[in-house]
Structure 1
């Protein structure tokens, strides 16, 4: 018997799912931020024991972690130096030369991960067309290595001007650095991010170098800890693009793991959408620290080429460090169960972005937290049963929650719940509009420990009438890891005018890109059945940014033109006559697809088992408090249908069914919430 183990480390909880033939088991425990691997090993030991599974029978471990993200946010990475072209040491500090907070006179930009004293330069120069204007000064580079050694540098990022068109100087610099500093971790921009845009490329390469020693040690510790338990299975890592890669690839490019947890949740939502034959979906993931919202249309994610980390103004676009990697596009806000509530100087309720996290946690956890949080508000509104939280292993203290809210006023918990839901609704509306979409008429798929508590009210605000809560929603991202394909994406910047397109040269470039992707993918998947996807990132001449255009056939100027016009119309509603498109960047993705699930058969409605307990539940939409029936999810068979107000409780989360809503268990034991006619 073979089994698969999925592990997701979040800011508050560490989630584990064990997939066995015919059944899955899950476990949720508080994250151990001082040593994240400790919670993983302890959770694995408990989960295997409760499932009665021998460690040696685990065939595969799938893992996503926030460690790289936290290292960037908390500035706890390696002592990193940048080696760049002479005259360009300050490009990472100049950044975009814009103000992200126009009217804030005290605005502060995020400081580069490499201080100016550790930004070294060497004479060399590659032209924009790849020609060599100035040869690399190897003697100067060796002198820089000596200075880096004296400065105690443990990681180096190399980013020369225009190396994405000709990487010869960077490759040679890498050879010399490895000779001079064999113990220093090295990242080259021509490997990490071979794309146009100097600041983004340098920022990404520096971030990779900054977290690489930490992630290398962490991943080695995870593998060693699992072996100590008797789990000798290979480990695959979740990437922000929605694919899985080997530990070796993750150690080389750890920056690709930064958004791994949210990517797993999005994959779960896509799987659930396919099971229910849904074309337009809003995935809603709310955990202990943040909430994430993702659009999924016709089984496809909206993908992005970059995002920001370590924002100086949390959740304010432009205030962070750009990371240029493939990532599932989502909107993230500081609205999790642990988000701290307070009143500002005008008496208004403000929530987050700071979170109580796992330590000290919400006041009701009894672990030392005293500040009011969203979880405390949910408990006081009756959304959580204090005796059944986490399967009864963690008793919640309503008195501590009430004391935390005492200074905010009698109706503060209700206000907190309504404001946090409106904040998420506003973010979802903006995200949809920015992608040329709408939220109304979609089906929401809710997962994460806190999402089923808030899903129905959020859906009301967004004009959504149907909500699906998957089985094991409280550990949704870990479930998503089990549905993820093994894959890897390679990107190259090669400026191409359509009237001067050289198809044979581009095919040769794609062959090189496929070979690079195969180096990663074939370590974990057989060659047979691999799917290759090609994408051109195009724009009209004179524009500053590109859109993704899928390449579905032979490369040709007219075919690319037509595909670009169709894609441009899809995003902006119209094309621009008289302007010629051009290609800036090409991407090739290689993956082993996961089989699509069968569409569920609709079951006839059935009466649910009689409930034994009730709990007062306050509905923020009406302000009314009514008795809500408490149902244990495991006791509800497929087909069972009930009306709100009700709570459906499971070990990792609780689904709130408000008055005016119905809940039905479908054939996959998912909860379908619908507004009653």
Structure 2
């Protein structure tokens, strides 16, 4: 085994990306995902990339993996046959939710469909109060009766979510023991372990999501682990969590809900590293793959994070329209706007794109695999921004005539447009969808979108980034090396990490330092135990935070805690820190108002190294294009011959003006006429808006 040979694999809805890193050098491969057995594309990609490097599976020290399988299972409702056991009287918590409506004035509002229908929700007598005291003992006979009912109904997995079990999990743990006695093969998820926090709806929803995907994910990870071992791999396997950290495969199999955004999280890490090298303290990560596109704000070289993520939103931009999953997550907005997103005309004959995707099977029409409807990739092929002979490094030959035929049938004929103009309409609409998502996300975070620069990666983003930047008023676009497999590259930069969050209510004017220290120390031991198998001897660091609010408010603000034993006098320091953070968000704080703490967090991780800012590259000779290609411009209504450059032939310091295309094996970058481009010291394509 070679100590410095590492491989990262990202399974997307359309493509599986593989990156091999050795001595700071990278090799990449991009293959179509095999949806029925995702490990097949993974193994094939690893075999190919190892052959490229003249290596074997036994030479690999680290295998890092991220996937959207858990998210897709929820969206497509392909999870296990799952049940919920709740406290008597709380059978309908998934329907009642938090009693809010994501669109107050929509009389035909459609709420997200629960993962567990009402018929599979059971209750048992038990009750623990908010302080953890037992008010009603667990009825064990009722639990055994529930187990018999689950067996008769063919249930594979069950979530147990009792009231206030985050304070005292005894009843949930005893319920698991009984269920395992009655049904040894049953998968059991406890809400007190997956999400030990207040807010019973979010806690229950998270536990149900974990139970729903656990059999699928565990089976996949077990097959993957066995297949790698059969090939001779003996190194460490890590999974990327939604929060941007790495975790051991055993932890991932126990808490697969933590993997719901693992692929996009890797992309945000990648963008943060690119921002650090470029010295861009404010950056907007734009990741567009084959199925979805993601936007994430980066400030001070750190992606924004959150504690709540919504899966399967019924309304694209409306909070509360999806299934809540309460886990540490890198905050981003994700929409169905990828290269495989299908274009069509709606009832009003408007061009719409997504969220439905052609995926890898059958794929866009140009793939020649049976796809009959036009996708975004078809539009780019017709426009000329994609070279059909060298797509994905030449591994997939594209059929231009099939793309033109699909666009004619589904778009052009209904509007009386030429094929080229129909392709431009699709290109324009998907770019506008992404621009709208960026605007909404920035507004929700209180950010001025025009003050950020765009970092574009994924197979599709470099083709659309210039147009998206024009729409949102961004003046600079950066396309880093290996942009087409950016998420997989980001996996290799992620630290081994795990964050625990637990709710323990405390008012700041009754601050009990000893009780807080006892809780945090317990959480630290548990988080460390989950990190150590993956850390493999690396030193770890700890970050402690409190989630605080003014008494009576509905949402909390994060305040960092000192990394030492707390003292009673720290209450004043916490108040001052909270008021500073509150004022940063809302311009002013509320003097002398009572403050309460709802939850506490401990994150244990290995060191994440931030790249140094790269210097300015000296000017290079004017680059020579390898050819020219006609590209249709919908604004002028005609095609223009634009130069085509090979990225590997552009040294740092190279400069050229748009319109131009920069081609590479994993993607192509379209530099529009509004931008001039250069290659910076780290090899990034930097596009700057031309002065009007």
**The TM-score by the shorter chain falls in which range?**
over 0.9
Is residue 674 of structure 1 aligned with residue 651 of structure 2? no
SS at match of 1:522: helix
Q: Which residue of 625, 631, 640 corresponds with 2:645?
A: 631
* Corresponding position of 2:667: 653
* Deviation (angstroms), 1:205: 0.4
> d(CA) in 1 for partners of 2:18 and 2:318?
32
Q: Which residue of 533, 539, 549 corresponds with 1:529?
A: 539
> d(CA) in 1 for partners of 2:527 and 2:441?
31
> d(CA) in 2 for partners of 1:594 and 1:99?
40
Alignment of 1:243-282 (within 5 A): 243-282=245-284
> d(CA) in 1 for partners of 2:109 and 2:443?
28
* Corresponding position of 1:610: 624
* Corresponding position of 1:481: 491
Is residue 601 of structure 1 aligned with residue 603 of structure 2? no
* Deviation (angstroms), 1:228: 2.5
Is residue 558 of structure 1 aligned with residue 572 of structure 2? yes
Q: Which residue of 117, 120, 138 corresponds with 2:119?
A: 117
* Corresponding position of 1:389: 391
The answer to whether the 8 A contact 2:70-2:217 is kept is yes
* Deviation (angstroms), 1:487: 0.3
* Corresponding position of 1:451: 461
Structure 1 portions without partners, runs of 5+: none
* Deviation (angstroms), 1:624: 5.4
Q: Which residue of 11, 28, 31 corresponds with 1:29?
A: 31
* Deviation (angstroms), 1:45: 1.1
* Corresponding position of 2:414: none
> d(CA) in 2 for partners of 1:175 and 1:373?
50
* Deviation (angstroms), 1:104: 4.2
> d(CA) in 1 for partners of 2:29 and 2:277?
24
Once the two structures are superposed, what CA deviation does each residue of 1:381-417 show, in whole Å capped at 9, x if it has no partner? 2211111211122222221121111142222221221
* Deviation (angstroms), 1:578: 5.0
Q: Which residue of 321, 340, 343 corresponds with 1:341?
A: 343
The answer to whether the 8 A contact 1:306-1:322 is kept is yes
* Corresponding position of 2:225: 223
Normalising to structure 2: TM-score of the pair? 0.95
> d(CA) in 2 for partners of 1:625 and 1:499?
70
> d(CA) in 2 for partners of 1:387 and 1:464?
32
> d(CA) in 1 for partners of 2:176 and 2:622?
66
Inter-CA distance 621–425: structure 2 relative to 1 (3 Å threshold): farther
The answer to whether the 8 A contact 2:85-2:124 is kept is yes
* Corresponding position of 1:540: 550
Once the two structures are superposed, what CA deviation does each residue of 1:219-253 show, in whole Å capped at 9, x if it has no partner? 01111112222222221000000000000000110
SS at match of 2:451: coil
* Deviation (angstroms), 1:202: 0.6
* Deviation (angstroms), 1:33: 0.8
Is residue 665 of structure 1 aligned with residue 667 of structure 2? no
Q: Which residue of 451, 455, 470 corresponds with 1:460?
A: 470
CA root-mean-square deviation: 1.7
SS at match of 1:476: helix
**How many residues are paired up?**
677
Q: Which residue of 469, 474, 477 corresponds with 2:479?
A: 469
Inter-CA distance 590–169: structure 2 relative to 1 (3 Å threshold): same
Q: Bigger CA drift: 161-170 or 246-255?
A: 161-170
> d(CA) in 2 for partners of 1:229 and 1:563?
53
Q: Which residue of 113, 134, 143 corresponds with 1:141?
A: 143
> d(CA) in 2 for partners of 1:634 and 1:241?
33
* Corresponding position of 2:52: 50
* Corresponding position of 2:209: 207
Structure 2 portions without partners, runs of 5+: 412-416
The answer to whether the 8 A contact 1:45-1:229 is kept is no
* Corresponding position of 1:129: 131
Alignment of 1:44-83 (within 5 A): 44-83=46-85
Once the two structures are superposed, what CA deviation does each residue of 1:260-301 show, in whole Å capped at 9, x if it has no partner? 000000000111111122211100000111110000100222
SS at match of 1:69: helix
Inter-CA distance 313–599: structure 2 relative to 1 (3 Å threshold): closer
* Corresponding position of 1:328: 330
Once the two structures are superposed, what CA deviation does each residue of 1:346-376 show, in whole Å capped at 9, x if it has no partner? 2221111111111111111111112122111
* Corresponding position of 1:238: 240
Q: Which residue of 480, 488, 493 corresponds with 2:503?
A: 493
> d(CA) in 2 for partners of 1:103 and 1:499?
41
* Deviation (angstroms), 1:110: 2.4
The answer to whether the 8 A contact 1:457-1:621 is kept is no
Inter-CA distance 242–567: structure 2 relative to 1 (3 Å threshold): same
* Deviation (angstroms), 1:464: 1.4
The answer to whether the 8 A contact 1:315-1:332 is kept is no
> d(CA) in 1 for partners of 2:132 and 2:637?
66
Once the two structures are superposed, what CA deviation does each residue of 1:75-107 show, in whole Å capped at 9, x if it has no partner? 221121211111111111221233334444443
> d(CA) in 2 for partners of 1:110 and 1:216?
25
> d(CA) in 2 for partners of 1:231 and 1:166?
42
* Corresponding position of 2:312: 310
